[in-house]
Structure 1
Amino acid sequence: MSISPAFLDELRNRVPISRIVGRKVTWDLHRSNQAKGDWWAPCPFHGEKTASFHVDDQKGFYYCFGCHAKGDALNFLREADGLDFVEAVKVLASEAGLPMPDRDPGEAKRADRRSVLADAMEAATRFYRMQLGTGQGAAAREYLAGRGLELDAVEKFELGFAPDLRQGLFNALRDKGVPPDVMDEAGLVIVPDDGGAPYDRFRGRIIFPIRDARGRAIAFGGRAMDPNARAKYLNSPETPLFDKGRNLYNAGPARAAVGRGAPLVVAEGYMDVIALSLAGFDGAVAPLGTAITEDQLRLMWRISPEPVIMLDGDEAGQRAARRLIDLAIPMTGPGQALRFATLPGGQDPDDLIRAHGAAAMQKVLAEARPLVDLLWEREIEGREFDSPERRAALDASLRKAIARIPDDATRNHYIAALKERRFELFGGRRGAGRLTPGPREAGASRGGNWRGKPEPARAQTRATPLGQQDTGDATLESMVLALCAVYPGLAGRVESRLELLAPADDGRAALCHDLLAGSDSVAGRAALARIMEDAYVRASPLIRKPDDAEKAAVVLANILDKIEARRAAMSELLRAEAEIQGLVDEGLTWRVSESARARHRAERPEIEDSSDLNEDRGALSARLASYFETRRKRDSG
């Protein structure tokens, strides 16, 4: 459906974003300025307790200084409620009292058809629930009771029963006026190819209704009562309502539970989800009879930034974990992480909870491990590394995996984590920590830690996300914060760039937050006091005599250019280290040299293409070639 930008702008202008967000958060009224439309609250997306989620009615945007979620009212409806774009527009239009623009006739027809199918699914849900209470459902009730499901649990999850009749549901829905073609399209019946009478898809099965994030019944899962049935579990086929690779069982209730602070736990099946929920783990979901897909991962991350994947301890569970590693790595990054909790061998969640209680399950969840652990274990499992060639093969496979991580900072942290694991595996042997060149090869002194164990970041290097900047960068960062503090309004002119500064030091991060939000915190004041003691900052005429705001703005922009160029150059070098597998090639040299050119321009903006820059590029290429050739020889030796 095509919706004009003018209509969307009118919606945004008519409906304050705080009205939409306010239904999901509790405002911090001490910090918020209601008169100015400036609102603060704990973030609804990552379950925090402090008010770092900022909503600005004047700009119509929200931003979280913790998880960096941001967007307008439409983004919020899509992320918080799981709506698609058109659905979010409809909600906003209803709030604004505006009629939706005319729809494309074809889309209108498809939407009306989906509505008819949804009505049929609700009618089927009621039929199955009623059948569970009949004499035919006695065995199903007995089975559920044996699994610990009392009446309240059956009602909560709307469990039902499909009687073992060829046309039980078909006749019931037909009597209510539901056409056979609607039943067929909804996946409720099967129409024989020979033109015979339709018959029920689910027969002799306990029924689990599957609802989307909006609460609509879109499909069913059925567990066979007959132990000799060809399929223990049977799901609805894909229909205009149901795409099994894009939905999760219990997604709606789990989203609400995660919003209250529960972890998002991804279990294997329906009964696992129900067992977890009854034990107090309400943020449980399950894929729908298939391995986890990319779309399901994205849906999980819209609910929680760090879902816990619950794995069976058997071989099948480990195989599923290995498949998920390759799927998740190219998608991982800030706000999109995974942890893995492994159940004791041979047990499912219900077994563990029944035998040892909810505390045992809580312990399993608390011991969940990050994705990098599973990647490492997969690469070393069953292998010996008693020769340079075998160790080089390990390095190559790890580089290949982490090179697929799109986010630079995340990829760099993977490199550091894998270096530590490599050092632990190979002990004190020379080159033990080497995924990228060791400190000696990279130009460290001979008295340094040349055996390859990663050196801890020096105190002055912790001022940036990469943890690799020199003291010059720390001083530049101090100057940025000092200028923004001394000159009111300057932070607002570089708001987007200041957000990306992201100091790693807690005090400076608090000060950066205060400058952007116009707030005043104890930690921020303390950090500013320390910054003002910096000799470089005290010596600046712009700080000693703050009377030239325009000049300060120019200097601030230049300092930010320098910081960004240096970080880009460092990021490119670290990326090159992750990707390089042999001799440096021309493309890699060009990329790194272009990064150096950008840094050179930021450091000396008056120079464009001078000969000394060309000499720097040539020297850099030579150093790179020597650097990686030395490393290749050492790794192979």
Structure 2
Amino acid sequence: MSLPPGFLDELRSRSSLSQVVGRKVMWDQRKSNQGKGDMWAPCPFHQEKSASFHVDDRKGFYYCFGCHAKGDAISFVRETENVSFMEAVEILAREAGMPMPERDPQAQQKADARTQLAEVMELAVKWFRLQLRTGAGQAARDYLARRGLQGDALARWEIGFAPDTWQGLWDALKGKGVEDKLILDAGLAKPSQKGGKPYDTFRNRIIYPIRDAQGRAIAFGGRAMDPEDKAKYLNSPETALFDKGRSLYNVREARVAAGKGQPLLVAEGYMDVIALSEAGFGAAVAPLGTAITENQLAMLWRISDEPVIMLDGDAAGQRAALRLIDLALPLLEAGRSLRFAMMPEGQDPDDLLKSAGVGAVQSIIDAAQPTVQLLWQREIDGKVFDSPERKAALDKTLREKIALIRDPSIRSHYGQEIKDLRWQLFRNKSTSASGGGGGGARRPRQQGAWVKAVPGPSVGAKSSVLATAQDARATDHLREAVILAACICCPEVVEKFETGLENMPCADPDHARMRDLVLAHAHRGAGDLRDRISDALGPDAIENLLAQRHVAITPCIRKPGMADLTAMTIAEELAKLKAQRGLEEELHDALDDLTGEADEGVTWRLAEAARAHDRARRSGQEDQAEYVIADNGARLDREEVEKSRSFFDQIDFSKGGRKNS
């Protein structure tokens, strides 16, 4: 329908936005200024406690600083009432006392046709309900009673029955003077392929009426009574009233219940919705036997910011949930997402209610997982990541999925969450494989038995590298403290050293826990990292770490914020730890080998390990200056040599003074 020029402007000027919005929100009186039309309230489009939803009554616009919802009175009615543009205009015009303009002939004709179809559908609802009470409907009534539906429940859900006849409904509607075209256009009958009288669409089926958000009967769902029927469930064909991909079963009642604070639950079938609603979960809908479409997802988000998808605990239900993730990712917005409540294997919500009661269903809802968790679970379930290539494949897949998210802020948060989950997965496996967060265990001999104690070192060996390494554990503890302190003071460099930190087997349990917290939360910033460590290890943990003398004198600790210096410190200390651990492993192996027949290989391995250890130990003591070798073999600082030459070039020795002086 086309509206005359100026009609919408006049409608907006006559409509008080604060009055329209005021039906859905509770104004914050301390923050609002009613005299100036400056009103504030918690946003009706997402769950919050603060008053971030602003209405400017004079300009006729609203805006939420939390979820960024914005618009005018018409868009507000559309979003909150789940109606079309013209329906929202009609609602506001009625409230403002403005007559709607005359419709153009074609639009009026279409509207009249839909009205006629809706009237025919109401006649069909009454006829199906009447058939359920006849003798032909006895088997259907028995089936429904076994499912817990009888009496008032049957009336509430307007459940009916289509008898096993070819033209039962057709003849009944024709007897009321309904035209053939209307019956066919409503999807209640199909033309005969043999030239005979049209036959009923639904035969020998329990009938569930499907109504739209305005309460009009737009379609039917039929459950076959014959177990041999090829189609267990059958929906009406698409008509001028019914678009399966844009409709939800029980949407009108669910919208009302969700508006009162109930969680919006999305089940698979009619009986699941009915069972949930009868058990007190009134905001339950179903997507009419098909995978949820983009339009249905938009409808769900107009009702609730975070619908809970309750899919059956069988393989088909899980596949449907996983497909929905890919559909939802590009559509996610701030405050709008999905949660997934997975039923026990082989059960649907109706089964669970009957076997375990309302409490079990509530527990499933409370434990519903966010979308990011199910995305992660989908990519790792049943897979083994025991090689760099498999880990890289996982990273590639997850990057591709996260790239589908259009909102940059949500995309960033998903990346951080996936990073946390990935770290937990691989860190746990690494810790398990190495025997925990401690310093590791000595490697066994080939037969699997630990080496027995060997005699102590001789007098000549006490000053050797073997003896020197025995006290290295104390030094390792000091190095670990410096590394952890540097990471805490400058968490932005941690990402460069994740692998080294993950492989740092701390002998001190507190160091191990602190390292894990650094890896898990460094990306959140220094303040949050310190809070997490304080919560886990106590308020004095960081202060005690930084107060240690060998930590306090470290340059990057005394001058926090110097990322380059901090990175150099961490890299140097990790290299020294790695060299020390390598030396210790060689020593353990050497002790094993020395109990047998000694050979030159043992001596060579020990010498190489000692040299590597010595290089790492001396790396921090050597400065970064460049040197030149003098004629006498002495090593001279290149910069100092150049300065000296420059100075001497300025001296005129023939006159005893400087040149050009």
Under TM normalisation by the shorter chain, which class is it?
0.5 to 0.7
Matches within 5 A, 1:519-558: none
Could you report, residue by residue, the CA deviation over 1:585-617 in whole angstroms, capped at 9, with x for unpaired residues?
xxxxxxxxxxxxxxxxxxxxxxxxxxxxxxxxx
Contact preservation (8 Å) 1:47, 1:261:
no
Larger Rg: 2
Q: Counterpart of 2:178?
A: 178
Could you report, residue by residue, the CA deviation over 1:341-382 in whole angstroms, capped at 9, with x for unpaired residues?
011111111111111110100000000001111111121222
Q: Secondary structure at the match of 1:234?
A: strand
Task: Report the Cα offset of residue 449 of structure 1.
Answer: 8.2
2:200 aligned with 1:200, yes or no?
Answer: yes
Contact preservation (8 Å) 1:449, 1:455:
no
Assess, with a 3 A threshold, how the Cα gap between structure 1 residues 445 and 81 changes in structure 2: closer, same or farther. closer
- 1:320 partner letter: A
Assess, with a 3 A threshold, how the Cα gap between structure 1 residues 214 and 47 changes in structure 2: closer, same or farther. farther
Q: Counterpart of 1:212?
A: 212
Q: Counterpart of 1:632?
A: none
Contact preservation (8 Å) 2:491, 2:523:
no
Could you report, residue by residue, the CA deviation over 1:449-478 in whole angstroms, capped at 9, with x for unpaired residues?
85473443566777xxxxxxxxxxxxxxxx
CA distance in 1, matches of 2:107, 2:167: 33
- 1:301 partner letter: W
Bigger shift: residues 384-393 or 89-98? 89-98
Q: Secondary structure at the match of 1:384?
A: coil
Task: Report the Cα offset of residue 234 of structure 1.
Answer: 0.7
Q: Counterpart of 1:56?
A: 56
Q: Counterpart of 2:118?
A: 118
Contact preservation (8 Å) 1:306, 1:338:
yes
CA distance in 2, matches of 1:95, 1:347: 48
Could you report, residue by residue, the CA deviation over 1:239-291 in whole angstroms, capped at 9, with x for unpaired residues?
11111011110111111111100001100000000000011111100001211
Matches within 5 A, 1:600-611: none
Q: Counterpart of 2:319?
A: 319
Q: Secondary structure at the match of 1:219?
A: strand
Contact preservation (8 Å) 2:492, 2:525:
no
2:431 aligned with 1:410, yes or no?
Answer: no
Q: Counterpart of 2:522?
A: 456
Q: Counterpart of 2:8?
A: 8
Could you report, residue by residue, the CA deviation over 1:152-183 in whole angstroms, capped at 9, with x for unpaired residues?
22122111111222212112211222111101
Could you report, residue by residue, the CA deviation over 1:524-551 in whole angstroms, capped at 9, with x for unpaired residues?
xxxxxxxxxxxxxxxxxxxxxxxxxxxx
Task: Report the Cα offset of residue 325 of structure 1.
Answer: 1.5
Q: Counterpart of 1:509?
A: none
CA distance in 2, matches of 1:151, 1:27: 43
CA distance in 2, matches of 1:214, 1:294: 21
- 1:269 partner letter: G
Matches within 5 A, 1:467-546: none
Matches within 5 A, 1:334-373: 334-373=334-373
Q: Counterpart of 1:425?
A: 425
Assess, with a 3 A threshold, how the Cα gap between structure 1 residues 121 and 398 changes in structure 2: closer, same or farther. same
CA distance in 1, matches of 2:269, 2:328: 20
Contact preservation (8 Å) 1:37, 1:57:
yes
- 2:109 partner letter: K
Q: Secondary structure at the match of 1:174?
A: helix
Give the share of equivalent positions with the same residue, in percent.
60
CA distance in 1, matches of 2:93, 2:346: 52
Q: Secondary structure at the match of 2:6?
A: helix
Q: Counterpart of 2:387?
A: 387
Bigger shift: residues 38-47 or 7-16? 38-47
Q: Secondary structure at the match of 2:313?
A: coil
Contact preservation (8 Å) 2:265, 2:308:
yes
Contact preservation (8 Å) 1:428, 1:451:
no
Matches within 5 A, 1:266-281: 266-281=266-281
Could you report, residue by residue, the CA deviation over 1:505-564 in whole angstroms, capped at 9, with x for unpaired residues?
xxxxxxxxxxxxxxxxxxxxxxxxxxxxxxxxxxxxxxxxxxxxxxxxxxxxxxxxxxxx
Contact preservation (8 Å) 2:332, 2:405:
yes
Contact preservation (8 Å) 1:429, 1:451:
no
Q: Counterpart of 1:298?
A: 298
Contact preservation (8 Å) 2:491, 2:525:
no
- 2:267 partner letter: A
Task: Report the Cα offset of residue 28 of structure 1.
Answer: 5.4
Contact preservation (8 Å) 1:26, 1:41:
yes
Bigger shift: residues 8-17 or 61-70? 61-70
CA distance in 2, matches of 1:335, 1:375: 18
Contact preservation (8 Å) 1:164, 1:203:
yes
- 2:196 partner letter: G
Bigger shift: residues 304-313 or 186-195? 186-195
Contact preservation (8 Å) 2:494, 2:522:
no
Could you report, residue by residue, the CA deviation over 1:14-47 in whole angstroms, capped at 9, with x for unpaired residues?
1112333333345556765444444444443335
Assess, with a 3 A threshold, how the Cα gap between structure 1 residues 90 and 458 changes in structure 2: closer, same or farther. closer
Bigger shift: residues 182-191 or 440-449? 440-449
Contact preservation (8 Å) 2:40, 2:54:
yes
Contact preservation (8 Å) 2:257, 2:283:
yes
Assess, with a 3 A threshold, how the Cα gap between structure 1 residues 445 and 335 changes in structure 2: closer, same or farther. closer
2:70 aligned with 1:70, yes or no?
Answer: yes
Matches within 5 A, 1:140-289: 140-289=140-289
Q: Secondary structure at the match of 1:409?
A: helix
CA distance in 2, matches of 1:455, 1:327: 30
Unaligned runs of 5+ in 1: 431-438, 463-637
Q: Secondary structure at the match of 1:202?
A: coil
Give the TM-score normalised by structure 2. Answer: 0.65
Bigger shift: residues 13-22 or 197-206? 13-22
Contact preservation (8 Å) 2:311, 2:343:
yes
Aligned residue pair count:
457
Q: Counterpart of 1:569?
A: none
Contact preservation (8 Å) 2:52, 2:64:
yes
Could you report, residue by residue, the CA deviation over 1:302-346 in whole angstroms, capped at 9, with x for unpaired residues?
111101111222211121122112111111121320110011111
CA distance in 1, matches of 2:150, 2:54: 43
Assess, with a 3 A threshold, how the Cα gap between structure 1 residues 327 and 459 changes in structure 2: closer, same or farther. closer
- 1:393 partner letter: A
Q: Counterpart of 2:569?
A: none
Task: Report the Cα offset of residue 186 of structure 1.
Answer: 0.7
Could you report, residue by residue, the CA deviation over 1:80-122 in whole angstroms, capped at 9, with x for unpaired residues?
1111112112222222333334434322222221111111111
Assess, with a 3 A threshold, how the Cα gap between structure 1 residues 264 and 8 changes in structure 2: closer, same or farther. same
Could you report, residue by residue, the CA deviation over 1:368-406 in whole angstroms, capped at 9, with x for unpaired residues?
001111111121222222222211111111111101100
Assess, with a 3 A threshold, how the Cα gap between structure 1 residues 15 and 350 changes in structure 2: closer, same or farther. same
Q: Counterpart of 1:595?
A: none
CA distance in 2, matches of 1:455, 1:26: 38
Assess, with a 3 A threshold, how the Cα gap between structure 1 residues 149 and 32 changes in structure 2: closer, same or farther. farther
CA distance in 1, matches of 2:157, 2:52: 35
Assess, with a 3 A threshold, how the Cα gap between structure 1 residues 78 and 108 changes in structure 2: closer, same or farther. same
Q: Secondary structure at the match of 1:312?
A: strand
CA distance in 1, matches of 2:494, 2:373: 30
Could you report, residue by residue, the CA deviation over 1:415-443 in whole angstroms, capped at 9, with x for unpaired residues?
1111111111111789xxxxxxxx99985
Assess, with a 3 A threshold, how the Cα gap between structure 1 residues 447 and 415 changes in structure 2: closer, same or farther. closer
Assess, with a 3 A threshold, how the Cα gap between structure 1 residues 309 and 109 changes in structure 2: closer, same or farther. same
Q: Secondary structure at the match of 1:406?
A: coil
- 2:273 partner letter: V
Q: Secondary structure at the match of 1:170?
A: helix
| Alignment root-mean-square deviation, CA | 2.8
